[in-house]
Amino acid sequence: MAAPADFLNFVDANKDRFIERLARAVEIPSVSGDPAHRDDVFRMASFLESQLRQYGVETKAVELGSHIMEGQSLKLPPVILGRIGNDKSKKTILIYGHFDVQPAQLSDGWDFPPFQLTKDDKTDRLYGRGSSDDKGPIFGWINVLDAHHSLNKPLPVNLRFCFEGMEESGSEGLDEFILDEVKKAKDSWFDGVDAVCISDNYWLNTRTPALTYGLRGISYYKVTISGPARDLHSGVFGRMVHEPMTDLIALMSKLVSPQGDILIPGVDEMVPPADYEERQLYEKLDYAVEDVEISAGAKITICEDKASVLMGRMRSPSLSLHGIEGAFYGAGAKTVIPAKVTGKFSIRLVPPQTPENVDPLVIKYLYEEFAKLKSKNNINVDNMHGGKPWVEDYRHWSYEAAHRATEAVYKQAPDYTREGGSIPVTLTFAEALGVNVLLLPMGRGDDGAHSTNEKLDVLNFIQGTKLLGSYLHEVNAGTKAR
């Protein structure tokens, strides 16, 4: 049975209230990567927990201990667990989301205050940090709970929740917690879970809903070149000493070509090329090169044909140079020779690549290339974090339910996509619980997660709420049909 009309009507009727609640969440600057905002992440956890309890969900805030960030010892934000429903005749779905956000400052170039949800009536969009990544989807689930509770309607499935507050900072502590919880002899909060649903990614474009069955992994590196005991004056030392920046820039220039080819021997070569049949999958997606151009805001795609551009994101590894720590980064014209500089770059991985088989290639290559420079400076290469890629079986009943829900709400079939980004918890759940994981995105491809002017379209928030609820009803319908 599809979602009942009273649920759908309730969502439409409560649109303004739902937006207002999302605004309250966005106003809490729960930036997990900034020690100054750690209290806000805790505040956000409490707000979320109180919302869950309000609609009859039993909750538990799980402490994860402490960690060191920027030289300070800080308490990790709790994982908020929830459970509602224990009907053996129903499926049990575990929902994952995260309530922390990326850093954001007006001075980064935002047109709106990032920690205030601004509704732009011209475009019918909701601007604010976390609007789409990932507070919008989280509060989509809260809206579903709200609707069923207010209508005094039983949920069509048993629900379990696992919401974390460190996703934007490497999900510290989460994997260990999940593995421990799964292993528990009794009373595990993940007992009886039949499938996992995660809403933390995006449609491929701005038109067509998507179901996502693959993610790239990641391996993040830093390469540090050090030499002088302190920063030097370029007038005094220029052309007398080996400069760390010269060495670092030389190394970073040998990692990736302007056309995106990874220059580290063996890395691109691990991935077999797409055959005709696989290429057709990408040709069929509702997608045009212009979609990338619109979401990037410029005509800068590496090539001109749709399938190649899509494969670059979905089935190829990529290497991005993020920046340099320790060099001069301000405005103006400082004539410094920085003493110690750290280049940051990461590689997005696809099967059969893993951090374990890629890291040694990267590290060996950097040391070899550094030796060729014949510099007297020192090099150090570190892997900062990593995660394996993931590809799921999209013929599973959970995907089928999401497919029917999408057709019901959006009146069109979804695109089946693989994502270029990494959501490491996906793989953790898939491996630890041994169940199917569905990625069911709420937002559009141009939402600008991690960027300035992050937004969520009002339509995606409201229809998305209907989609999440409809998915649960379709899971139930699918179960009964069998």
Q: How many CB atoms lie within 10 A of CB 155?
A: 22
Q: What does the alpha-carbon distance between residue 41 and residue 102 come to, in Å, rounded to a whole number?
A: 11
Contact indicator for 429, 193 with CB cutoff of 8 Å = no
Q: Which is nearer to its own copies, 52 or 440 (CB)?
A: 440
353 or 398, CB closer to its own copies? 353
Instruction: Show the CA angle centred on residue 190, arms to residues 184 and 192, nearest 5°.
Output: 105
123: which residues sit within 8 A by CB, 6+ positions away?
Answer: 457
393: left (phi over 0), alpha (psi -120 to 50) or beta: beta
Q: How far is the CB of 164 from its own copies (least distance, A)?
A: 17
The nearest distance, CB 335 to its own copies, in angstroms, is 6
- Start-to-end Cα distance in the chain: 13
Indicate which residues carry an active-site annotation.
100, 167
Question: 334 is written with which tokens?
Answer: 């400082």
DSSP E strand stretches across 29-111:
58-62, 66-69, 72-75, 79-84, 92-98
Choose between 292 and 472: whose C-beta lies nearer to its own copies.
Answer: 292
Distances (CA, A) of 29 to 103, 131, 424: 8, 12, 23
Measured CA to CA, the distance from residue 261 to residue 269 in angstroms comes to 11
Nearest approach, Cβ of residue 383 and its own copies (Å): 10
Shortest distance, CB of residue 39 to its own copies, whole angstroms?
Answer: 19
Give the CB-side neighbour count of residue 462, counting CA atoms within 13 A. 19
Q: What number of CA atoms fall less than 13 Å from residue 422's CA on the CB side?
A: 27
Q: Give the residue with the Cβ less far from its own copies, 108 or 283.
A: 108
What distance in Å separates the CA atoms of residue 168 and residue 288, rounded to the nearest whole number?
30
